[in-house]
Amino acid sequence: MATKSFKVKKFLSLTLAFAVLMGLVSIRSAHAQDCRQLQSVIDSADPFRNTGMAGHINKHIFAAQAPHLVNNSALNATMYRTIPNWNSLWGTYQNANILNPPQCPALGAVNPFHDDIAPNALPARGQVNGHDCTAVDGNNHTQCTTLANQFAPSNYRFVFAWRGGQWIILTAYPRP
């Protein structure tokens, strides 16, 4: 009888340990989400809202007003030509069926991190060229005044960061 009792206790212990382990895996999975689908990320992808959410996407959009941040010179930065170019790329990236989409943990544990996407991972209609900023304004050097060297990006970099208790796109730019 003692052997049967021992087997039952061992079985219950193993079952409990397995249940706890599966619960932890489920909790971890439930808390990480595709960053591209989080409302705060979607909101921060809007160039008119990004700076106010502590991002600096506009540093990489020629036609946008760049944020006036310390050590944020646009000189030699890679850029998108226009806000519609950026919006087209963002919409394509956000809706693309990506094998391993970027995962944002619930509490911003990995901060910041980036997702590099090759152009061939996106539909051609959403791909946009990059440009190099070769001259900036005389005040804060944050506003690009001259674009040159149009290029087809080797990849697009999207940088996600935990700011103000939420995930945002910190910045995004084409890489030569």
Closest C-alpha among 66, 114, 119, 116 to residue 89: 119
Q: Are residues 103 and 23 in the same domain?
A: no
Give the total number of structural domains in the chain: 2
| Domain co-membership, 41 together with 96 | yes
> Taking the chain, what is the end-to-end CA distance rounded to the nearest angstrom?
73
Q: Tell whether 19 and 49 lie within a shared domain.
A: no
Per-residue pLDDT, 8: 46
Residue 115 near residue 157, CB atoms below 8 Å: yes
- Give the integer Cα–Cα distance in Å for 150 and 88: 17
pLDDT at residue 62, rounded to an integer? 95
Residues 7 and 55 placed together within one structural domain of the fold: no
**One domain, residues 92 and 154:** yes
Q: Token pair of 13, please?
A: 């212990």
- Are 77 and 155 within one domain? yes
**pLDDT on residue 170:** 95
| pLDDT at residue 72, rounded to an integer | 78
Question: Which residue shows structure tokens 């599966």?
Answer: 22
What is the residue type of 153? P
**Together in a domain, 137 and 168:** yes
Residue 25 pLDDT: 35
Nearest to 62 by CA among 175, 176, 173: 173
Per-residue pLDDT tens digits of the chain, which is 176 residues long: 555 555 545 544 544 444 433 333 333 344 789 999 999 999 999 999 999 999 999 999 998 888 877 667 899 999 999 999 999 999 999 999 998 999 999 887 778 999 999 999 998 888 899 999 999 987 778 889 999 999 999 999 999 999 999 999 999 999 99
| pLDDT for residue 126 | 81
Asked whether residue 5 falls in the same domain as residue 73, the answer is no
Full domain range(s) for residue 27: 1-31
Same domain? 82 vs 65:
yes
Residues 110 and 170 in one domain: yes
At 1 the pLDDT is 53
Same domain assignment for residues 26 and 102: no
Beta-carbon-side half-sphere exposure of residue 157 (alpha carbons within 13 Å)? 16
8 and 46 together in one domain: no
